[in-house]
């Protein structure tokens, strides 16, 4: 596997060609790093599931360069979904829509819907444009971590997660740290009104404002969505260290909280974000740091609010230690 840290037009062209040949390419997005393959290549997708260690009934998101290509993959697109796409794409949002025949069972885990995303990251965007210029139709990509583990927000974290599983023809494109830091908001657009399946930087209020429909905040645990959704397995987004929420750390435990909260005596501070936006940016790196430092426990004081705090708390609840 090669890591490309100064991506030029020529290296992106080669990366797109490599995708077209069935190889894996990891790339940055504004949310987290993705691990991409040609979404129409069944063997490449099977290989991707193997590298991730992911069960084959977990559907993949298809990444396209712009909304113009949406109807290749999705049909019966409701008016509210068009409004969302026009407003928040390119950006940290994935829409779940009824699929066309192009979206095969091997992508959707046999579901009749497909997840589609247009990222705003310039590097990924240029890669997908080049890929489509070479005849590609979409890049299927989950987060570039092993199944159940913490999503990578830097190229180094991708190396840490996947180097032993990638082969010499696979690539990692280094675009620096991700700006959002938690995965995209996933919105189910297969019903009369939008439904949040995974909270992210596009919040319930933002969705309500654009669609004119009051959208429910996804509260983890209590109102689980009916269709197969992310993170509904135990211990998702989890480091090796045990994560505890809102308890007092013992000396030697890792500690993550907003900067205004002082470090308890003996605790090892892993991040001091100034606000919720920075909290999302730093969270996954801080959880990885706990493992690098081989800490047995991490105590996290979750943020509050109805902004990115909702997404952060959703991930924290999923990675929290369940005895």
By CB under 6 A, is residue 59 in contact with ligand TXA? yes
By CB under 6 A, is residue 34 in contact with ligand TXA? yes
By CB under 6 A, is residue 113 in contact with ligand TXA? yes
Half-sphere exposure for 82 (CA within 13 Å, toward CB)? 7
Instruction: Report what 152 binds from Mg ion, ligand TXA, none; CB cut-off 5-8 Å by kind.
Output: none
* CA–CA gap between residue 255 and residue 278 (Å, rounded): 16
Considering only 106-114, 140-148, 292-300, 310-318, which stretch makes contact with Mg ion by CB under 5 A?
140-148
Question: Is the Cβ of residue 32 or residue 44 nearer to ligand TXA in the bound state?
Answer: 32
By CB under 6 A, is residue 77 in contact with ligand TXA? no
By the 8 A CB rule, do 314 and 220 touch? yes
The two structure tokens encoding residue 284: 């996954």
By CB under 5 A, is residue 143 in contact with Mg ion? yes
DSSP H or E stretch at residue 88: helix 79-88
Considering only 11-19, 181-189, 208-216, 261-269, which stretch makes contact with ligand TXA by CB under 6 A?
181-189
Among 1, 7, 44, 117, binds ligand TXA (CB under 6 A): 117
Measuring CA to CA, which residue among 321, 73, 78, 84 is closest to residue 208? 84
Instruction: Report what 272 binds from Mg ion, ligand TXA, none; CB cut-off 5-8 Å by kind.
Output: none
The two structure tokens encoding residue 294: 């081989």
Residues 248-267 interacting with ligand TXA (rule: CB under 6 A): none
Instruction: Report what 96 binds from Mg ion, ligand TXA, none; CB cut-off 5-8 Å by kind.
Output: ligand TXA
**ω before 90 within 30° of 0 (cis)?**
yes
Question: Is the Cβ of residue 23 or residue 113 nearer to ligand TXA in the bound state?
Answer: 113
DSSP H or E stretch at residue 280: helix 276-292
* CA–CA gap between residue 242 and residue 149 (Å, rounded): 13
| 293 DSSP assignment | T
Among 7, 16, 26, 31, binds ligand TXA (CB under 6 A): 31
Question: Least separation, in Å, of the C-beta of 255 and ligand TXA?
Answer: 27
By CB under 6 A, is residue 61 in contact with ligand TXA? yes
Considering only 70-78, 110-118, 240-248, 287-295, which stretch makes contact with ligand TXA by CB under 6 A?
110-118
Question: Is the Cβ of residue 130 or residue 314 nearer to Mg ion in the bound state?
Answer: 314
* CA–CA gap between residue 245 and residue 24 (Å, rounded): 36
By CB under 6 A, is residue 227 in contact with ligand TXA? yes
Considering only 73-81, 130-138, 141-149, 216-224, which stretch makes contact with ligand TXA by CB under 6 A?
141-149
Question: Least separation, in Å, of the C-beta of 146 and Mg ion?
Answer: 10
Geometric angle at alpha carbon 227, from 221 and 231, rounded to 5° = 45
Q: Where are the beta strands (DSSP E) in the chain?
A: 2-4, 25-27, 34-38, 61-63, 93-98, 113-117, 139-140, 171-173, 185-188, 195-198, 242-245, 254-256, 268-271, 297-300
* CA–CA gap between residue 260 and residue 292 (Å, rounded): 25
By CB under 6 A, is residue 96 in contact with ligand TXA? yes
Give contact residues for Mg ion (rule: CB under 5 A): 143
Give contact residues for ligand TXA (rule: CB under 6 A): 29, 31-32, 34, 58-61, 94, 96, 108, 111, 113-115, 117, 141-143, 183-184, 186, 197, 227-230
């Amino acid at each position: 596997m090669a890591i490309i840290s100064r991506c030029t037009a020529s290296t992106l062209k080669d990366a797109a060609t490599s995708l077209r040949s069935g190889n894996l390419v990891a790339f940055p997005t504004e949310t987290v790093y993705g691990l991409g393959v040609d979404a129409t290549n069944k063997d490449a997708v099977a290989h991707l599931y193997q590298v991730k260690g992911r069960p084959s009934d977990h559907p993949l998101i298809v990444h396209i360069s712009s909304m113009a290509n949406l109807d290749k993959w999705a049909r019966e697109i409701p008016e509210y979904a068009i409004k969302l796409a026009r407003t928040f794409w390119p950006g940290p949002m994935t829409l779940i829509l009824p699929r066309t025949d192009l979206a095969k069972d091997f992508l959707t885990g046999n579901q009749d819907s497909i997840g589609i995303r247009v990222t705003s990251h310039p590097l990924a965007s240029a890669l997908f444009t080049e890929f489509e210029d070479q005849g590609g139709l979409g890049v299927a990509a989950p987060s570039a971590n092993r199944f159940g583990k913490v999503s990578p927000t830097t190229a180094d974290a991708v190396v840490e997660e996947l180097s032993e599983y990638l082969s010499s023809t696979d690539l990692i494109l280094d675009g620096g740290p991700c700006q959002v830091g938690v995965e995209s908001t996933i919105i189910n657009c297969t019903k009369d009104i939008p439904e949040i399946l995974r909270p992210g930087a596009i919040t319930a209020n933002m969705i309500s404002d654009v669609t004119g429909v009051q959208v429910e905040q996804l509260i983890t645990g209590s109102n689980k969505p009916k269709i197969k959704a992310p993170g509904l397995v135990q211990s998702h987004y989890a480091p090796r260290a045990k994560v505890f929420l809102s308890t007092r750390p013992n000396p030697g435990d890792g500690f993550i909280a907003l900067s205004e909260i002082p470090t308890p005596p003996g605790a090892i501070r892993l991040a001091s974000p100034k606000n919720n936006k920075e909290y999302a940016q730093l969270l996954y790196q801080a959880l990885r740091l706990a493992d690098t430092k081989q800490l047995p426990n991490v105590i996290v004081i979750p943020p509050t609010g109805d902004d990115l705090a909702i997404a952060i708390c959703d991930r924290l609840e999923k990675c929290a230690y369940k005895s």
